[in-house]
Amino acid sequence: MPETHLPRAAVPAIDAHNHLGRWLSSWVGRDGDWAVADVGALLALMERVNVTAIVNLDGRWGAELEANLDRYDRAHPGRFATFCHVPWEELGEGGGGPGALVASLRASHAAGARGLKVWKDLGLSVRDATGALVLPDDPRLRDLWEAAGELDLPVLIHTADPVAFWWPVDERNERFDELSVHPEWAFGAPGLPPYERLIDALEELVAAHPRTTFIAAHMASSAERLARVERMLSAYPNLVVDVSARIAELGRQPRATRRLIERHPTRVLFGSDIFPPRREMYELHWRFVESDDEQFSYSHDPDEPWPQGRWRISALDLPRELLAPFYAANARRVLANAGL
């Protein structure tokens, strides 16, 4: 079978979903340090693989946001766009409540944040002063989402996770190996919302705030159920999705994935969510998007051949006319305030 090697994207690309800061650096063995140790080396890699800009989702707020902006956006204009977070603990006992979240967002926008990153903890672990879980469609968060729209800050939201994370963790679960290594990613325990409730909450959120742009990360955590992604994109003009960390699922249904992109050519963003960025990781993505290769490994790491499940993927062979919007133009439109 062919093994296409594509060292560069066919057209300039924007990686619209990555982590360059200190928020998740412990995941890559750099606890407390920057996920990317050498920014100059990263810029050289970007030139080599034809990535013009990267969205950094690790801004947090306050001093940590300032540190990210200094290291990336301000030092290298047009090459990085840093998103902020809001401190969900304000919803807990002794916190300032929803108003404090809005104030934090406004301060981060004034500092230079280019969007709001919302992680899966909203719905799975964020709790209010009574100890109840707070879901994305909680009415107390309305002002936050409206403020994001008012400030022209897109909201990149990661809700739920692969549906198999809600299945029993046994040999019948296709992600059994992954969940055995990361048992904390199994969410089927009593007291946690079902998968469908979380995806419904995401949809309710998008529907209720049409003036706010939402980027539903990881194909709206519905990469295994593309019919729902298709329906949501058709229903909500303020919704876009990214493919980050989901080529394993999308590559099992390449024709359906390609049809979705063809039907919604302005609504799907390229993103990797593999950090720190590496040449092999980008080359794998170019092969997946541009070639017509079949039945190849979705792992860029030979030491981890089955990081998500024991299957292989086939490529999209995306038409040339769709590469520019998918790789960069869609992200540039959504992030019009970032100057990328």
Least-confidence region, from 2-6, 34-38, 67-71, 269-273: 2-6
Share of the chain above pLDDT 90, in %: 93
**C-alpha dist (Å) from residue 82 to 18, 65, 224, 339:** 10, 8, 29, 12
pLDDT at 34: 96
Summarize the confidence of residues 189-196 as an average pLDDT: 96
Q: Is residue 4 part of a domain?
A: no
In this predicted model, what pLDDT tens digit does every residue of 197-236 receive, in sequence order? 999 999 999 999 999 999 999 999 999 999 999 999 999 9
Q: d(Cα 301, Cα 289) in Å, to the nearest integer?
A: 18
Number of domains in the chain: 1
Q: Is residue 53 part of a domain?
A: yes
pLDDT at 136: 98
- From start to end of 161-225, where are the E strands? 214-216
**C-alpha dist (Å) from residue 181 to 216, 289, 309, 311:** 26, 29, 12, 18
Summarize the confidence of residues 138-165 as an average pLDDT: 98
pLDDT at 243: 98
Q: Is residue 1 part of a domain?
A: no
* pLDDT for residue 1 is more than 70: no
Q: Is residue 97 part of a domain?
A: yes
Q: Is residue 2 part of a domain?
A: no
With tokens 């989702």, the residue in question is 57
Place 2 in a pLDDT band, splitting at 50, 70 and 90. Answer: low
pLDDT at 27: 81
pLDDT at 209: 98
In this predicted model, what pLDDT tens digit does every residue of 118-137 receive, in sequence order? 999 999 999 999 999 999 99
pLDDT at 28: 82
The CA radius of gyration of the chain, in Å to the nearest whole number, is 19
Summarize the confidence of residues 165-182 as an average pLDDT: 95
pLDDT at 88: 98
Q: Is residue 306 part of a domain?
A: yes
pLDDT at 301: 86
Place 7 in a pLDDT band, splitting at 50, 70 and 90. Answer: very high
Closest CA to 114 of 159, 32, 56, 188: 56
Q: Is residue 7 part of a domain?
A: no
Summarize the confidence of residues 191-196 as an average pLDDT: 97
Q: In what order do the strands lie in the sheet with 214-216?
A: 116-118, 155-157, 214-216, 239-242, 268-269
pLDDT at 73: 98
Residue 42's CATH number? 3.20.20.140
Decide: 17 and 56 in contact? Cβ < 8 Å. Answer: no
| Tokens linked to 17 | 């979903």
Decide: 233 and 239 in contact? Cβ < 8 Å. Answer: yes
pLDDT at 3: 85
Q: Is residue 318 part of a domain?
A: yes
Place 111 in a pLDDT band, splitting at 50, 70 and 90. Answer: very high
Domain interval for residue 97:
13-338
Summarize the confidence of residues 63-92 as an average pLDDT: 98
